[in-house]
Amino acid sequence: MNFIVDVSLFSNRLFIGLATFVAQNNSKVAMKDVIEGFYTAFQNKDAEKMVSYYHDEIEFTDPAFGDLKGEHAKNMWRMLMTRSADMSLEFSGISANEESGKAHWDANYTFGQTGRKVLNKIDAEFTFKDGKIIRHIDSFNLHTWAKQAMGFKGMLLGGTGFFKKKLNSQTNLMLSKFEKDAKNA
């Protein structure tokens, strides 16, 4: 009788352990799928699909726009997708668990204000809540970007706090105009 009880306890522990393992790995796969879905939609220039992976309380940060929250973060992608005629994107290095994830992506495009070609190499970090992205941080070398996008002027000023503040002001002004126009459309 003791032997049967021991086997029963062993099988219960094995089942609980297996169930826990499967749940943890399904969560990792699911969050990795969220990141892959986001970037696949980005490659397809499908802003609505992209923002569907964002939590309503999304917080986004990058060197160009600074900090954006909620609909402003979602509208940034909507705006960028309307202005990205020649943009191409490659992503790699995706990893995730149930709480956070990361990826690398490269964007090739023509910078509209100067007509100069840009290859922006970006590392992204994500935090998840309720199966969606609630925090998204894109990091890239702003000075390198500025040299490509603006040439000599970017080489001189692109690494300064003044430049970053001015760029954030301009990008947020463009976003406000886009949101106003979309609201009036």
Give pLDDT tens digits for 127-142.
999 999 999 999 999 9
- CB 45 within 8 Å of CB 84: yes
* Predicted confidence (pLDDT) at residue 23 exceeds the cutoff of 70: no
Lowest mean pLDDT among 12-26, 84-98, 105-119, 133-147: 12-26
- Decide if 96 contacts 35 (C-beta within 8 A): yes
Per-residue pLDDT, averaged over 146-170, amounts to 94
d(CA 179, CA 184): 9
pLDDT of residue 24: 43
Confidence of residue 112 (pLDDT cuts 50, 70, 90): confident
Single-letter residue type at 166: K
pLDDT band of 26, cuts 50, 70, 90: very low
Domains and CATH numbers, the chain: 2-184 (3.10.450.50)
pLDDT at 19: 42
Would you give the distance in Å from CA 156 to the centre of its chain? 29
Q: Which helix (H) or strand (E) holds 121?
A: strand 116-129
What is the average per-residue pLDDT within 41-68? 97
At 67, the amino acid letter reads D
* Average pLDDT score, the chain: 88
Query: CA neighbours within 13 Å on the CB side: how many for 70?
Result: 2
Q: In the structure encoding, which two tokens stand for residue 157, read together?
A: 């000023």
**Percentage of residues of the chain with pLDDT beyond 70:** 84
pLDDT of residue 85: 83
